[in-house]
């Protein structure tokens, strides 16, 4: 019964960690979308006021470089959030599995000691 209760708590903790990680990812993605929308809007406003094709090409090159740099940075941040969530989930699972192994092997170890003790008692009784 205690094993089931501990497993249920571990699953609840795991669900909480995954939920929080998912929420953090969603918040970051929403922030990225908002920032990208603002940058695109600014780019088009600025592009309409340019007077020469050369200026438009330069503006487009700057925007493209900025967008690529931003995408790389955003990907790194999303990966960091995802890794943090995965590590928290792995830690919860690892702790629970370790506890289960300990809980399941303790009775076996106790029975082994009892069995050895019983064998010694029988040997002494037989020798006497």
What is the distance between the alpha carbons of residues 25 and 18, in angstroms, rounded to a whole number?
Answer: 10
What is the distance between the alpha carbons of residues 51 and 41, in angstroms, rounded to a whole number?
Answer: 18
Which carries the bigger pLDDT value, residue 112 or residue 98? Answer: 98
Predicted TM-score (pTM) of this structure: 0.71
- What mean pLDDT comes out for the span 70-94? 96
What is the distance between the alpha carbons of residues 7 and 19, in angstroms, rounded to a whole number?
Answer: 18
What residues does each domain of the chain span? 2-95
Give the dihedral sign, CA 84/90/92/98. negative
52 secondary structure, DSSP code: S
């Amino acid at each position: 019964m205690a094993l089931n209760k501990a497993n249920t708590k571990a699953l609840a903790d795991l669900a909480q960690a995954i939920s929080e990680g998912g929420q953090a990812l969603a918040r970051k993605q929403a922030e990225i979308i908002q920032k990208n929308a603002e940058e695109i809007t600014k780019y088009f406003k600025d592009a309409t006021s340019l007077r020469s094709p050369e200026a438009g090409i330069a503006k487009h090159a700057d925007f493209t470089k900025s967008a690529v740099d931003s995408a790389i940075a955003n990907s790194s941040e999303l990966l960091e959030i995802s890794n943090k969530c995965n590590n928290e989930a792995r830690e919860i699972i690892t702790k629970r599995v370790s506890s289960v192994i300990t809980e399941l092997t303790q009775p076996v170890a106790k029975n082994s000691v009892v069995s050895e003790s019983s064998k010694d008692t029988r040997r002494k009784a037989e020798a006497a």
